[in-house]
C-alpha cells in the first residue's frame, strides 16, 4: 500500500469515526428532544444541537406563525463568534420582522432562502452567499457590514412533522472546519444529519405544541366550569379563581423554606401543575349546589327575603293593639280620663317595634348568635298571635322560621349546610371519574381534601393530618383564608388581615389547619402577597404577627 493510499485510508477512517460520533450525538439529541417539556428550551436545544452536529458558527430557527401560516417568525438566533444569543430563554427580544412567504398580492417570496425552503419543500445548501444566484442576501450583507462578520456558507432545512406539514425552518451559517478553523461549505454528511435532526425536531416540537394545546384546552374547560359557577352565583365564582392563586403562593413558600419540618419538601414542575389544576377544580361540585342555598344572604331568604312577611305580621299586631285600645277607650263613659290607656298603648307599640327591630337584626347572619338571643326569638314566636288571611288566629312565627332565625352562625340551617357541604362529595365523585394521566393522578386527592381537618373532624372522609398530603393541607389553609377575606359574600364584609389571621390562628390551635404550613403562611408573609393582589386597601392593615394566636414567631 502506497503512502498516498495509507493517507487516504486514514482520512476515510477519520471521517467514519467523525460520522459515527455525530450519529451518536444525533441519537442523544433525539432522546433529549423527546423529553424536553419547556417550549423555549426545546427550540434552543434544536438549534444548539444542529450547530454542534454540523460545527456551524451561527444559526436561526424559524417557526411558521400559529395563525398566519404565510409568515415565518424568528424564534432563536445564535452566533458563537459574535456572542449573539436572542430569543428563547435568554429574554433578549429578536428585533427582526417575520419573513413573509407571500406578498400582499399572493406572489411567492422565493428570493428569501428561508421562505424558498418552505415554499419548495427542499433543503438549500449554499457555498457562498455573496456569489449565490437567485436569492436576496441584502439583509445578510447589511448585517455583515455593521458587524464585520462574513456570512458565507448557508444550510437551510425545512422542518417537516410526521404529517408532512412544514412547521419551521432550521438555518445554519458558516460551517467551521475542525482542523483549520476556516469557513467551509456544509458537506453532504452535514446536510443529511441536519435534515434528520430537523425531522426529529419537527416531530418533537409538534408533540410539544399538541400537549400545550391540549393543556390550554383543558384549562379553558376548567375556567369554563368556574365561569358557569360564577354566572350561577357571583358570590362563589371569585372564590374558584382566587383559591388556586393563594394555594400556589403558599406551596411555593413551603417549597422555598429551608428550615423547620418542611425544609426538605419540594415540588417538581409536574407537581406544581398538578396542584394548580387541583386548585382550579377544588369546588367544581358546586355546579350542582342549588342557587337559593349558595346565595342565601339572610336567614329568611329563599327566592325572596321573607323578613317582609314577618314585618307585615308585626304591622298587623301593631294595628290590632291600636284597634283594641281604641275600642276600650270608646267603651268608657264620657269624660273618663284616658291618659293611662294611652300610655299603655304607647308602651305596647314601643315593645312591638323593639321586637320587630330585633327580629330584623337576627335575620342578618352573624358569626355567633348568643343563646339569649335565640331564646328571645322563641319567646317572640309565642308572645304574639295574629289573624291570617283566612281570619284564623295563627302562630306568629312558623317552626321553619324559628329554625332559620335562631341559626347560631351565618345564614344556613343545618340542612342547608349539608347541601353546601355535599359539593365536596360531588367534586370528588366528578374528579375520580376522570381518566387522569399519571402526572395528574393526585388531583382528586388534593382537591377533595380542602375541607378535612388535621384532627380528623373535617369532611367528607374525616382524614387526619398524617393521612393527608402536603398539597391537600395547603389547599385547606388557602380555602379558609380566602373565605375570611372575601368581600363578595352576600352575608358578610371581607375581614382585615389582622382579623383573618387571628381567626386562622385559632384554627391552628384547635387542630383545624396544619401548624407547619400556618407558620410558613404567617412567617413568610404569604398573606400579604395575596392581599396586595386581591384585597381592598382598607382590609390591608398593619399586622402584629406576635399577637396572632398559635404563631411561634420568625
Quote the distance between the C-alpha of residue 109 and its chain's center: 43
- 190-209 burial by CB neighbour count: b if 16+ within 10 A, else e? bbebbbbbbbbbbbbbbebb
Q: What CATH fold (topology level) applies to the domain 233-294+415-547?
A: Hypothetical protein af1432 (1.10.3210)
Tell me the pLDDT of the chain (554 aa) as tens digits: 565 554 554 455 544 545 445 555 555 555 555 565 677 887 888 888 889 888 999 999 999 877 778 899 999 999 999 999 999 889 899 999 999 999 888 899 999 999 999 999 999 999 999 998 889 999 899 999 999 999 999 999 998 887 888 988 999 999 999 888 999 999 998 898 888 888 877 877 887 788 888 888 988 888 888 777 777 766 665 788 899 999 999 999 999 999 999 999 999 999 999 999 999 999 888 888 887 787 787 888 887 889 999 999 999 899 988 998 888 888 888 878 888 888 988 999 999 999 999 999 999 877 788 999 999 999 999 998 887 778 788 889 999 999 999 998 888 888 888 888 888 899 999 999 999 999 999 999 999 999 999 999 998 999 999 999 999 999 999 999 998 998 866 666 789 999 999 999 999 999 999 999 999 999 999 999 999 999 999 999 999 999 999 997 65
- Say what the alpha-carbon torsion angle 471, 473, 475, 478 is, to the nearest 10 degrees: -130
And the C-alpha cell for 551?
A: 404563631
Query: Could you tell me the residue ranges of all domains in the chain?
Result: 10-211, 233-294+415-547, 307-411
Q: Which CATH superfamily is domain 10-211 in?
A: GAF domain (3.30.450.40)
Angle at 307 between CA 302 and CA 309, to 5 degrees: 95
Distance, CA of 317 to CA of 312 (rounded, Å): 9
At residue 50, the 3 state secondary structure works out as helix
Sign, CA torsion 414/415/419/425: positive
Distance, CA of 267 to CA of 272 (rounded, Å): 6
Provide the percentage of residues in the chain whose pLDDT is more than 70. Answer: 91
Distance, CA of 93 to CA of 100 (rounded, Å): 19
**Residue pLDDT, tens place only, 495-549:** 999 999 999 999 999 999 999 999 999 999 999 999 999 999 999 999 999 999 9
**Residue pLDDT, tens place only, 224-282:** 887 777 777 666 657 888 999 999 999 999 999 999 999 999 999 999 999 999 999 99
Amino acid at each position: 500500500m502506497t503512502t498516498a493510499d495509507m493517507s487516504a485510508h486514514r482520512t476515510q477512517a477519520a471521517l467514519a469515526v467523525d460520522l459515527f460520533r455525530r450519529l451518536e450525538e444525533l441519537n442523544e439529541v433525539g432522546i433529549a428532544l423527546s423529553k424536553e417539556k419547556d417550549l423555549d428550551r426545546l427550540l434552543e436545544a434544536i438549534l444548539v444541537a444542529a450547530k454542534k452536529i454540523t460545527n456551524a458558527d451561527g444559526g436561526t430557527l424559524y417557526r411558521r406563525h400559529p395563525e398566519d401560516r404565510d409568515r415565518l417568525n424568528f424564534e432563536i438566533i445564535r452566533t458563537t463568534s459574535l456572542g449573539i444569543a436572542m430569543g428563547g430563554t435568554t429574554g433578549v427580544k429578536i428585533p427582526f420582522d417575520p419573513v413573509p412567504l407571500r406578498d400582499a398580492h399572493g406572489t411567492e417570496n422565493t428570493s428569501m432562502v428561508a421562505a424558498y425552503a418552505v415554499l419548495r419543500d427542499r433543503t438549500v445548501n449554499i457555498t457562498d452567499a455573496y456569489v449565490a444566484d437567485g436569492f436576496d442576501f441584502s439583509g445578510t450583507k447589511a448585517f455583515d457590514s455593521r458587524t464585520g462578520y462574513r456570512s458565507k456558507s448557508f444550510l437551510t432545512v425545512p422542518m417537516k412533522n410526521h404529517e408532512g406539514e412544514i412547521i419551521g425552518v432550521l438555518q445554519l451559517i458558516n460551517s467551521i472546519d475542525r482542523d483549520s478553523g476556516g469557513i467551509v461549505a456544509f458537506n453532504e454528511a452535514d446536510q443529511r444529519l441536519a435534515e434528520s435532526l430537523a425531522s426529529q425536531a419537527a416531530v418533537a416540537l409538534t408533540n410539544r405544541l399538541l400537549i400545550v394545546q391540549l393543556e390550554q384546552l383543558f384549562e379553558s374547560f376548567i375556567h369554563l366550569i368556574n365561569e358557569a359557577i360564577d354566572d350561577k352565583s357571583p358570590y362563589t365564582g371569585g372564590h374558584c379563581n382566587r383559591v388556586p392563586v393563594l394555594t400556589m403562593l403558599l406551596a411555593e413558600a413551603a417549597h422555598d423554606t429551608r428550615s423547620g419540618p418542611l425544609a426538605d419538601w419540594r415540588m417538581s414542575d409536574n407537581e406544581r401543575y398538578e396542584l394548580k389544576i387541583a386548585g382550579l377544580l377544588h369546588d367544581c361540585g358546586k355546579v350542582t349546589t342549588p342557587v337559593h342555598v349558595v346565595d342565601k344572604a339572610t336567614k329568611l331568604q329563599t327566592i325572596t327575603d321573607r323578613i317582609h312577611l314577618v314585618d307585615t305580621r308585626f304591622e298587623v299586631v301593631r294595628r290590632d293593639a291600636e284597634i283594641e285600645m281604641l275600642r276600650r277607650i270608646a267603651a268608657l263613659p264620657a269624660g273618663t280620663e284616658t291618659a293611662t290607656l294611652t300610655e299603655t298603648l304607647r308602651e305596647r307599640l314601643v315593645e312591638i317595634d323593639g321586637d320587630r327591630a330585633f327580629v330584623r337584626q337576627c335575620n342578618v347572619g352573624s358569626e355567633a348568635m348568643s343563646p339569649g338571643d335565640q331564646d328571645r326569638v322563641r319567646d317572640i314566636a309565642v308572645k304574639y298571635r295574629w289573624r291570617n288571611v283566612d281570619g284564623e288566629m295563627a302562630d306568629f312565627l312558623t317552626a321553619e322560621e324559628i329554625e332559620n332565625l335562631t341559626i347560631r352562625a351565618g345564614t344556613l340551617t343545618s340542612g342547608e349546610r349539608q347541601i353546601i357541604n355535599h359539593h365536596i362529595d360531588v367534586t370528588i365523585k366528578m374528579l375520580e371519574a376522570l381518566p387522569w394521566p399519571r402526572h395528574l393522578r393526585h388531583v382528586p386527592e388534593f382537591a377533595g381534601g380542602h375541607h378535612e381537618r388535621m384532627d380528623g373532624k373535617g369532611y367528607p372522609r374525616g382524614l387526619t393530618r398524617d393521612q393527608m398530603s402536603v398539597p391537600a393541607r395547603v389547599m385547606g389553609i388557602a380555602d379558609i383564608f380566602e373565605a375570611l377575606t372575601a368581600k363578595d359574600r352576600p352575608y358578610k364584609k371581607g375581614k382585615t388581615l389582622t382579623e383573618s389571621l387571628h381567626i386562622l390562628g385559632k384554627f391552628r390551635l384547635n387542630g383545624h389547619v396544619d401548624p407547619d404550613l400556618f407558620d410558613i403562611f404567617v412567617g413568610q408573609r404569604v398573606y400579604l402577597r395575596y392581599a396586595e393582589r386581591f384585597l381592598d386597601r382598607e382590609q390591608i392593615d398593619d399586622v402584629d404577627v406576635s399577637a396572632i394566636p398559635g404563631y411561634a414567631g420568625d
